A and B are shown apart, each in its own frame.
Chain A
Amino acid sequence: DVKVTQSSRYLVKRTGEKVFLECVQDMDHENMFWYRQDPGLGLRLIYFSYDVKMKEKGDIPEGYSVSREKKERFSLILESASTNQTSMYLCASSRQREADYEQYFGPGTRLTVT
């Protein structure tokens, strides 16, 4: 059974803290993605990675960074959390070939910054 796991389901942090969100997939997928989900805005891509140590900015990268040191793990880092980063964060992974393209999602991390 394919699996994407995220380190926390719920997280509460203070403004200014450094926050790490971890994502691990066990499907040997090349691509990994971090999305942010807010009501009425759908899923917005923050960053994605298509290989180890390779990353590309998505639509809303400001205030975030990422790290991919191993193929199975993709971390999202909030260098200095702010209240406007309170949101649901979703990690996903996929193969690169067209025929296997669908993205597999983790359960999400609901982050509250106070």
Chain B
Amino acid sequence: AQKVTQAQTEISVVEKEDVTLDCVYETRDTTYYLFWYKQPPSGELVFLIRRNSFDEQNEISGRYSWNFQKSTSSFNFTITASQVVDSAVYFCALSEPFMDSNYQLIWGAGTKLIIKP
């Protein structure tokens, strides 16, 4: 069965520190998608990134970067020079196919990130 594990329940760092959120997944599919979402205190989940299983290039977007490694089934997320506004719950998710060309998502339990000023 497919599964997403975010082993870090909560991380607390001081502003400007770098922080990495871990995501490990299990799947038997050869084609799949991985996602990261952010849930700020307001509650609404915001999409951050989607990565397909054939693209192992690392992605960088400003202070955010993602490291996808199929060999270890991991899709880790790093925030460089963290800011208080980065405080949120971050979710990793994995696509699971159902029916023809349709998908649902399998979610990790989330990591609560606290950035202290």
Contacts and interface: CB of A to CB of B under 8 A. Distances in A.
Interface stretch (B56-64, B65-73, B76-84, B106-114): B106-114
A110 B105 CA distance: 22
B109 A41 contact: yes
A97 B100 CA distance: 10
A53 to B, nearest CB: 15
Contact of A88 (B37, B43, B108): B43
Contacts, number: 51
A37 B47 CA distance: 17
Contacts of A31: 102
Given A42-B109, A102-B35, A102-B50, A96 B43 contact: no
Contacts of B35: 102
Contact of B91 (A42, A97, A101, A104): A42
A27 interface: no
A74 interface: no
A62 to B, nearest CB: 18
B29 interface: no
Nearest to A45: B104
B107 A90 contact: no
Contact of B50 (A58, A96, A101, A110): A101
Given A44-B107, A107-B44, A108-B43, 4 more contacts: A42-B108, A43-B107, A50-B102, A101-B103
Interface of B: 6, 9, 33, 35, 37, 42-47, 50, 91, 95, 98-99, 101-105, 107-110
Interface of A: 31, 33, 40-45, 48, 50, 56, 58, 88, 90, 92, 96-98, 101-108, 110
> Which 3 pairs from chain A and chain B are nearest by CB?
A105-B45, A42-B109, A43-B107
